[in-house]
Amino acid sequence: MFTRFKNFFSRHRNKFITGGILVGGVVLFSKYAQKVKEWQEKEAKEFLERARKQQHYDSIEKTCNLTAMTLASTLKEVIIKLIKSEELIQKLQSGVKNRVELWEELKILAFSKLVILLYAQAILTVTLRIQLNLIGGYMFRYTTDDSEENKITSNMQEKYLGLCQFFIEEGIHKLCDVIKEKVKVVLEKKSLKEKLSLKDIEQIFWAVQTSISNDDRDPCKSLPDYVLPNDLRRILYVPDLSVFDNIIVETHDILESEEIIHLIKSCISHGFCYVTDKISQYYKENDSLKQKTDFANPVPTTSSSLDANYVLNLNAVTIPMAKIIPLVNGFVQNQTKKDDVPHAWIQQLILMDSLKVMGANIYETFSSKK
């Protein structure tokens, strides 16, 4: 029997080998095809996941920009109510006797109002972007999690996003006190008659920034004190936190991080540069007016090229402090126009690349965090 089987195998050996190869090939091909199918399904799933994630992030960015624009208008109104420079202007227009004292006070309030606006808009914009991207990341991560423990309810979202409202209603008062104090120290020795160049204006802004930065109450370094209510900050020391409490803790840690401190300082510095550019236009207008006057009453000269090749040097132009005050005060007005400083600056601020990168990093971290 074994001999027959051996002879049969010998006669059909090539067929067995060929058949084995074919069967093995089919098996291997089937496994390969299965692997390819699984890989394609995985790639398709990841692609759809990335597309859904990108769409969700883009929606957050749009919401963030629109909300920042809306809250910035509210913030400006609050600042105008707190820094009542318009009342002083009305008194000055009524012809009171103590005009010099009122002008000195208006000097402090006008510069304070502008500096407060730049700091407040930076704080609001950065905080809002942190909040929306952080909670947006949490929500995306838990979209497939049906457990009640990790569910982020609408009440939680409303309470969390209300932190910006806390800054507008409460934190702004503390910010005003700190900045008014620092502005007064810098400007109290500046005479109303003192003629200031554009470089002098820059030095004033720099001195105010430096004075604020050296204070323990510096909003850049102690941001949670301005945007987090005391009752929420207490949970930082409580064990076994809920999802909402964890979000608050994460927010606090981000607000205190060196990256955010540097980012807010950068935003504020950009704001002062923007304002200085606006003021420089006023200096150009005054220099142009002076130039026309000089041309109307020319001084005899042997060089005709002096008039033809006039070079504008803004640092050589000086304007009395008393004329700078109305300009600075006018930057923050009740009426909102498309070209006014607060509206134009917030539009530039929300489009800063550094802010976008920060928001994207936070969203990616918390949407993917395990």
With CA atoms as reference, report the closest residue to 247 among 139, 171, 134, 348.
Answer: 134
Q: Is the pLDDT of residue 122 over 90?
A: yes
Q: How would DSSP label each residue in 163-223?
A: HHHHIIIIIHHHHHHHHHHHHHHHHTT--TT-EE-HHHHHHHHHHHHHHHHTSTT-TTT-T
CA distance 251 to 241: 14
**Residue 322 · residue 192 · CB < 8 Å:** yes
pLDDT at 220: 94
pLDDT at 285: 80
Tell me if 2 is assigned to some domain: no
Confidence class of residue 369 from pLDDT cuts 50, 70 and 90? low
Q: Which of 209-218, 255-264, 283-292, 331-340 has the lowest mean pLDDT?
A: 283-292
**Residue 152 · residue 138 · CB < 8 Å:** yes
Tell me if 21 is assigned to some domain: no
Structure tokens at 320: 């009395």
Tell me if 29 is assigned to some domain: no
Confidence class of residue 350 from pLDDT cuts 50, 70 and 90? very high
pLDDT at 310: 40
Tell me if 334 is assigned to some domain: yes
3-state secondary structure of 322: helix
Total domains in the fold of the chain? 1
Domain containing 241: what range? Answer: 45-292+313-368
CA distance 217 to 304: 57
Tell me if 23 is assigned to some domain: no
pLDDT in tens, 197-250: 999 999 999 999 999 999 999 999 999 999 988 776 565 555 556 778 888 889
- Top pLDDT among 369 and 202 is at 202
Tell me if 103 is assigned to some domain: yes
Write the DSSP symbol of residue 369: -
Phi, psi dihedrals of residue 264, rounded to the nearest 5°: -65, -40
Tell me if 356 is assigned to some domain: yes
Is the CA virtual torsion 182, 118, 170, 130 positive or negative?
negative
Tell me if 305 is assigned to some domain: no
Mean pLDDT score, 318-337: 85
CA distance 231 to 170: 14
CA distance 252 to 317: 46
Show the CA angle centred on residue 178, arms to residues 207 and 335, nearest 5°.
Answer: 90
Reported as type and span, the H/E element at residue 145 is none
- Average pLDDT value over all residues in the chain: 81
